Structure 1
Amino acid sequence: MSNQRTFTGKVALVQGGSRGIGAAIVKRLAAEGAAVAFTYASSAGAAKALVDGITAEGGKVLAIKADSADAHAIRNAVDSTVETFGRLDILVNNAGVLALGALEDFSLEDFDRTYAVNVRSVFIASQAAAKHMGDGGRIINIGSTNADRMPFAGGSAYAMSKSALVGLVKGLARDLGPRGITVNNVQPGPVDTDMNPANGEMAESMLGFMALKRYGHADEIAGFVSYLAGPQAGYVTGASLTIDGGFGA
């Protein structure tokens, strides 16, 4: 585990934490001393491997199967985290889906699921987690640079969902500020994950939009989350902070 123990004694819940950016966040927080719970929907093998790896290094971790479109499952995940580790200090809302398609063909089912996972789940988890947080609590959402820039066709529902988080985080920051809880968005650009691999079919066009001609790494996003979750970011709230390699420049 890391020698930097910023989060010793803290408990975190990462919604959508078995793969990609979520897994990198789980590993980073655990390496810095937090007890970390995370949810997963279908990647049981990846979730087990993540738990085994962190446990082998002396970390405390809990995997919870929960569909982020299911309000009851989200609330149960929050309750299970508190029952297992005794408290909750950090919530990271990372669960997300990406559905692309021409407007005339885009199904209402895909629209509804995009909203349910990318927006509604953030509200539900934040509402549930805030009941357990004290002064110094942190809520961090993983949004997208597409909230500010959607440079290709077919992404209207996804861009809508990530733009909604910008308004939600401002309102939540006002709601929870008097309690000393900060709320922020991290807005990544293209990051090398299963959802959008650096060698995938969209990679060439994505690189054309960027000032830095490379995809981001999940560990870079996790480092940004670690900063926002830590004591040095205590004066940052209601912000949507972009880490996108110049995608929006």
Structure 2
Amino acid sequence: MEDNNTTHFGFKQVPTSEKAKHVAEVFHSVASRYDLMNDLMSMGIHRFWKRFTLHNSNVRRGAKVLDIAGGTGDLTAKFADMVGSKGKVVLADINASMLNVGRDRLTDLGKSGNIEYVQANAETLPFPDNTFDCITIAFGLRNVTDKDKALRSMLRVLKPGGKLMVLEFSQPVSWLTPIYDTYSFKVLPALGKLFTNDAESYRYLAESIRMHPDQTSLKKMMEDAGFERVDFMNMSAGIVALHSGYKF
């Protein structure tokens, strides 16, 4: 049971003021192997989920896009091509290690002219009101301490008519749950130990998915934050959901 002074870190309760530090330690640990982590967690299907997100973003040339918790820059790289030389993509991440990995990777890919890198907390985004045409946060919202505050912050920096897209692990259909649980809590930590010698970080990531609001709950949270026309689309039998909402 949470109170105002504690929150969940995976299945554990920690002081609210310390959650960001604990999450940072996980991502400092996995930053250099983040792409491998995504492949292990999703069996490679995360690429399809991200392509689907990009396709549904409706981003056009000249647009300004904010990719929160952008990690190693999968979405940022594609958005940079979509917005062209007159557009801008900001890759934002609270974790310096992740931001450095993303910058190095995108530089190696020859993508730099229309990309900016900002270390930022999603709860207090350091941008003016009405800045971005599109905001994405992929597999990052579940790690945010105060999700409601973060959603309000995203609404503030989104332009009127702009779109927020939240790609996140969610609640699978009931028949899949036993298989999914076995994979998450038995197989995934073992793979983490085998490939990265870090079972604990992978165990936390599996637990954090279970503590994240389900599809309907997140939809209501977005509506309560002020987003309109909020909807979601399930992928892979609900293992992942793509939520979208607009600012009007």
Q: Which has the higher helix share?
A: 2
Q: Which has the higher strand share?
A: 2
